[in-house]
Amino acid sequence: MRRSFLKKNLLFWGQGRGIRRKNSNRNPVYFEIRMNAIRKRQRLSVLIVLVCCLILINIVFLYKDNNVIPYSEFTYPVKMNFSENYKVFKTEGRQPAFNIINPHPFKYIHLRKKCKFKENGTPSLLILVKSTVNNFHLRDAARTTWGNSTGENIEIAFLLAHREAEQPEVDKEAALYGDIVQESFLDSYMNNTYKTIMGFNWAVQFCGQASHIVFVDDDHYLNIQNLLTFIETLNALNKGDLMIGNLLKHSIPYRSRFSRWSVSLQQYPFDRYPPYLAGAVYLVSRDTANKMVFAFPYVKYLGIDDAYLGIVARKVGIELQHEETFIIPPFLLYTDPSQVVYGEFKDVTDFEIVNRVLHRFAEVKMCIFTWKCQFSFLL
Ligand SMILES: *[C@@H]1O[C@H](CO)[C@@H](O)[C@H](O)[C@H]1NC(C)=O
Ligand SMILES: *[C@@H]1O[C@H](CO)[C@@H](O)[C@H](O)[C@H]1NC(C)=O
Ligand SMILES: *[C@@H]1O[C@H](CO)[C@@H](O)[C@H](O)[C@H]1NC(C)=O
């Protein structure tokens, strides 16, 4: 029955087109037949769309698995006493007697030169910008604005993974600016954690004097002055553990296969993540970075990098802290860049909110505008 219905429709469809070609639209009978066919087809389309929606809703929202383990029973491989093993490692240089379950077998393609901080008692800040290979324009925007903090005790590095097609351009960029840290793994969302681990590893090995490290995504605007002021209020020059940002306490893993952040039960079987700092920006101290780097090889990989850091921090015993200024209050966003530690820019339209006059500017110019804006507000 369905087939015949479709056939009829197809027939009309064909006829209709034939008719149109002969330009017989003015014949009211043919016109009425054609309109009927169109209406029928429309009804059928609506029905199909509705059914599809229902199926989707089912998959996305009602997907439930009985094998989910409550977070109260949280354990995560490897089971070992990290603080005890870290103490042994620090005093005797001995690695734990556990197998490495999160190997990091990647080679540096570009290695930024070592940091050179002044030992003058002020905080030494390393900025690590997690960047996607093809975001050349965003890196340029950062370099010419907030990332160009010459004169301050600040160093900046861009963290990149690898993509064959863009590599020649990255090579040029690295030669020109010398601020790129790149490893050989493929640049993809679920490899993000490798990028973050690379940043920690590089910072500890080549930038060990940094008292503080701030991680930031390449589509964000960091207000350095506010950040430095904030670090000073912490009154902690590399004194112990610090990991601070926008703390999420009750995050639930995405299970829908359509989500970018989807995680299977094999990867992570619990109904909640440990508390973790939301990805876009967070600040860590030197001691904390050292502990994290020690722990990474012994904590099972998870592609969601901010949640993964939360797991590692929990295992190592680092207490995460929440800081309001690391969140962008929606009402403040872009209206007064001096008030927030950072702001987000995804494309030109975002920046139009800053000033409607700046309609046709490219992203870099938008960023420069915010840069100038920041200083005019500070004056
Ligand atoms: C880990 O080892 C330390 C001693 O170094 C001990 O105080 C602590 O209770 C241990 N933690 C666990 C969870 O066993
Ligand atoms: C950074 O600032 C210095 C001093 O203001 C300037 O000479 C230099 O050109 C700037 N670098 C970039 C990449 O804009
Ligand atoms: C992560 O990088 C490795 C090494 O390049 C690659 O084999 C793997 O496919 C990547 N994973 C994803 C999810 O892209």
Instruction: Per-residue pLDDT tens, the chain, 379 aa: give them.
Output: 444 443 333 333 333 333 344 444 556 666 676 777 777 878 888 888 888 777 776 665 555 566 899 999 999 999 999 999 999 999 999 999 999 999 999 999 999 999 999 888 788 999 999 999 998 877 887 887 778 877 789 999 999 999 999 999 999 999 999 999 999 999 999 999 999 999 999 999 999 999 999 999 887 777 787 788 888 888 655 578 999 998 999 999 998 888 888 999 999 999 999 999 998 889 999 999 999 999 999 999 999 999 999 999 999 999 999 987 777 544 334 443 333 444 444 444 444 444 332 223 334 555 555 655 554 433 2
Establish if 107 belongs to a structural domain.
yes
Burial zone of 150 (CB within 10 Å; 0-12 exposed, 13-18 middle, 19+ buried): exposed
Distance 81 CA to ligand 1 centre (A): 6
Q: Which strands, in side-by-side order, build the sheet including 125-130?
A: 108-110, 180-186, 154-162, 125-130, 212-217, 276-285, 243-248, 321-322
Mutate to test the pocket of ligand 1, among 74, 82, 83, 88 (most ligand atoms within 8 A of CB): 83
Looking up residue 255, the CATH number of its domain turns out to be: 3.90.550
| For the CA of 148, the nearest atom of ligand 2 | 1
| C-alpha to C-alpha distances, 229 to 23, 223, 233, nearest whole angstrom | 75, 10, 6
Given this model, what pLDDT does residue 324 score? Answer: 78
Establish if 259 belongs to a structural domain.
yes
Establish if 123 belongs to a structural domain.
yes
Establish if 79 belongs to a structural domain.
yes
Distance 85 CA to ligand 1 centre (A): 10
Establish if 140 belongs to a structural domain.
yes
Tokens 């999160």: give the residue: 102
Residue nearest to atom 4 of ligand 3 (CA): 185
Which residues does residue 217 pair with via DSSP β-bridges, in sequence order? 130
User: How many domains does the structure of the chain reveal?
Assistant: 1
Structural domain harbouring 298:
73-361
Establish if 281 belongs to a structural domain.
yes
> Kindly report the CA angle at 253 between 350 and 342, in degrees rounded to 5?
30
| C-alpha to C-alpha distances, 157 to 133, 139, 214, 218, nearest whole angstrom | 14, 10, 11, 11
Q: Indicate whether residue 89 lines ligand 3 (CB < 6 A).
A: no
Residue nearest to atom 2 of ligand 1 (CA): 84
* Strand ranges, E, within the chain: 108-110, 125-130, 154-162, 180-186, 212-217, 220-222, 243-248, 276-285, 321-322, 342-344
Tens-place pLDDT, residues 25-59: 556 666 676 777 777 878 888 888 888 777 776 66
Give residue 97's identity as a one-letter amino acid code: A
Q: Indicate whether residue 191 lines ligand 3 (CB < 6 A).
A: yes
**251 touches 268 (CB < 8 A):** no
* Strand ranges, E, within 27-172: 108-110, 125-130, 154-162
Distance 86 CA to ligand 1 centre (A): 11
Distance 194 CA to ligand 3 centre (A): 10
The DSSP secondary-structure symbol of 296 reads: G
Q: Indicate whether residue 103 lines ligand 3 (CB < 6 A).
A: no
Q: At what angle do helices 167-177 and 136-144 cross, to 10 degrees?
A: 10
**112 touches 181 (CB < 8 A):** yes
Distance 364 CA to ligand 1 centre (A): 51
Mutate to test the pocket of ligand 1, among 76, 80, 81 (most ligand atoms within 8 A of CB): 81
| C-alpha to C-alpha distances, 45 to 57, 81, 274, 279, 364, nearest whole angstrom | 18, 60, 45, 41, 44
**155 touches 129 (CB < 8 A):** no
Establish if 11 belongs to a structural domain.
no
Give the tokens for residue 6.
């479709």
Name the CA radius of gyration of the chain, rounded: 27
